[in-house]
Homo-oligomer: A and B are copies of this chain.
């Protein structure tokens, strides 16, 4: 089976950070603030990592809270804190909470909403970001809309980058809900592979309401996917909300792994240097994928990202489920059709997420040829069915 279902780094990508494994020796476990990183404590993380995350996100180090392995966990806990904590908790306000979900989007974001019973309202995601005419209109009317998911740089799965104009309109949003929050998942903020890195929009400073944006990012696709360090950046009020929530379940995150990352990457330049080596591995896989897809221009369209982890493929309406099922039968596992939409429901059944990074170039080529042939055959069947009726 060729598994192209998840955005996993390849072994070659992971190996780029191998020197990090042994970088932290016994005489190097004290942070610049004189904390012994081996011991308990430090709920908000070490300053060395706050500084690096601040540079990556283009936001002050003081606004950063460093977490463990997964930014997804931090998103989950931030939403749990908003749902349940304090007198003004979302869950205590009576009616059901709603989130705007630009779609196609990231299935794990949607799964968190489903877990908390948050109603998801899909919003079209254009080439420059969410359709802001729609967003502005519905957000200003409905006080039950408490949040919106955004992946502003190399969006999952379309790979688009929000334009400065769209970011500006998001920053200026006037939601009916005073406690509306923007979940700004900048997972791919340094993951360019084909051009200059887009400068992250300074949403925390530029938002009309500084308590609106909550930024997230992580090293999951920079160092080791399963053993990285994640972060959140937000206003003091939001940081307190988050920390008060997690302090019940932990005495602090793994500061040794934070220090390991700090020693290895040092600063933004260290991260960007590393990501250039990463680009040299990832770029050829995207190019090979796009090259094979290019024969399908008469029956489908797809995105041509300059960074991130995915290509978003649109077949003719009604074909995504069929193509994914037939690929599976032929030994190629794609992300489940529909996964890129809230409730797994792609209204036109046309979107398929392609994740080119994990397989070797050979396997990828093999898998994409099968995918391409299947896409062609399924489209053909429509024509045939069309002719017969």
A interface residues, Cβ below 8 angstroms from B:
6, 8-9, 11, 14-15, 17-19, 21-22, 24-26, 29, 36-42, 68-70, 72-73, 75-77, 108, 111-112, 115, 220, 224-227, 248-257
A21 to chain B minimum Cβ distance, whole angstroms, is 5
The residue in chain B whose Cβ has the minimal distance to the Cβ of A114 is B248
Query: Taking A249-B70, A250-B73, A254-B68 as contacts, is the C-beta distance between A14 and B40 under 8 angstroms?
Result: no
Q: Which one, B24, B40, B70, B250, contacts A251 given CB within 8 A?
A: B70
Are B73 and A226 interface neighbours, CB within 8 A? no
Whether A76 pairs with B248 at a CB distance below 8 angstroms is: yes
The answer to whether residues A225 and B25 also contact, given A72-B250, A249-B72 and a CB cut-off of 8 A, is no
Residues of B within 8 A of A70 (CB): 249-251
| Residues in B neighbouring A8, C-beta threshold 8 A | 39-40
A21 to B225, CA, bound (A): 19
A28 to chain B: closest residue by CB: B21
A114 to chain B, nearest CB (A): 8
- Copies of this polypeptide in the complex: 2
A72 to chain B: which residues have CB within 8 Å? 249-251
In the docked arrangement, what's the CA distance between A327 and B125, Å? Answer: 61
How far is A300 from B156 in the complex, measured between Cα atoms in Å? 64
In the complex formed, the residue of B with least CB distance to A11 is B36
Evaluate contact between A227 and B255: CB separation under 8 angstroms: yes
Contact of A39 among B14, B73, B253 (CB under 8 A): B14
Contacting residues, chain B, for A9 (C-beta < 8 A): 39
Contacts of A250 in B (CB 8 A): 69-70, 72-73
Are B37 and A26 in contact, CB atoms less than 8 angstroms apart? no
Asked if A249 and B18 sit within 8 Å, CB to CB, the answer is: no
State whether A115 touches B68 (Cβ < 8 A): no
Minimum C-beta distance from A343 to chain B (A): 15
Contacts of A76 in B (CB 8 A): 248-249
Given contacts A22-B25, A69-B254, contact A38 B225 (CB under 8 A): yes
Q: How far is the CB of A231 from chain B (nearest CB, A)?
A: 15
Can you list 23 residue pairs at the A/B interface with Cβ under 8 Å? A11-B38, A11-B39, A14-B38, A15-B26, A17-B38, A18-B26, A19-B26, A21-B25, A37-B226, A38-B224, A39-B225, A39-B226, A40-B226, A68-B254, A70-B249, A70-B250, A72-B251, A73-B250, A111-B248, A224-B256, A226-B256, A227-B255, A227-B257
Minimum Cβ distance to chain B for residue A30 (Å): 10
In Å, the complex CA distance between A40 and B108 comes to 14
A-B pairs, 7 with minimum CB distance: A18-B26, A76-B249, A227-B256, A38-B224, A14-B38, A40-B225, A227-B254
Among B41, B115, B224, B249, which residue has its beta carbon within 8 angstroms of that of A112?
Answer: B249
Q: Is the pair A227, B38 in contact by a Cβ cutoff of 8 Å?
A: yes
Distance A97 CA – B29 CA, assembled complex (angstroms): 43
Residue of B nearest to A14 (CB): B38
Please give the distance in Å from A317's CB to the nearest CB on chain B: 30
A17 to B40, CA, bound (A): 15
Residues of B within 8 A of A36 (CB): 11, 14
Question: Which of A40, A72, A224 has the most chain B CB atoms closer than 10 A to its own CB?
Answer: A40
Please, which residues of chain B bring their CB within 8 A of the CB of A22? 21-22, 24-25
